[in-house]
Copies of this chain bind each other. A is one copy, B any other.
Amino acid sequence: MNRKPTLAVVGATGAVGTVMLQILSQHADIWGEIRLVASPRSAGRKLAVRGEDLEVLALSEDVFDGVDIAMFDVPDEVSAQWAPIAASKGVVVVDNSAAFRMDPDVPLVVPEVNPHAARVRPRGIVANPNCTTLSMIVALGALHAEFGLRELIVSSYQAVSGAGQDGVDTLRRQLKLVAGTDLGTRPGDVRRAVGDDTGPFPEPVALNVVPWVGSVREDGWSSEEMKIHDESRKILGLPDLKVAVTCVRVPVVTTHSLTVHARFEDEVTVARAREILATAPGVVLFDDPAAGEFPTPADATGTDPTWVGRLRRALDDPTALELFVCGDNLRKGAALNTAQIAELVAGERNSS
Contacts and interface: CB of A to CB of B under 8 A. Distances in A.
A281 interface: no
Interface residues of A, number: 78
A305 interface: no
Interface in A308-339: 309-317, 320, 322, 324
A185 B312 contact: no
B294 A257 contact: no
Contacts of A292: 202-203
B316 A244 contact: yes
Interface of A: 151, 153, 155, 157, 161, 168, 172, 175-176, 178-180, 182-191, 202-204, 207-212, 216, 219-222, 229, 240-244, 246, 248, 250-254, 257, 259, 261, 270, 287, 289-290, 292, 294-299, 301-303, 309-317, 320, 322, 324
Nearest to A297: B208
Counting chain B CB atoms within 10 Å of each CB, the highest count among A184, A185, A186, A212 belongs to: A184
Contact of A301 (B185, B259, B290): B185
A80 to B, nearest CB: 25
Contacts of A310: 211-212, 220, 246
A263 to B, nearest CB: 10
Contacts of A176: 179-180
A186 B302 contact: yes
Contacts of A178: 175, 179
A273 to B, nearest CB: 11
Contact of A270 (B220, B253, B294, B313): B220
Given A187-B303, A301-B184, A207 B246 contact: no
Nearest to A209: B157
A270 to B, nearest CB: 7
B252 A248 contact: no
Contact of A261 (B186, B244, B296, B324): B244
Contacts of A179: 172, 175-176, 178-180
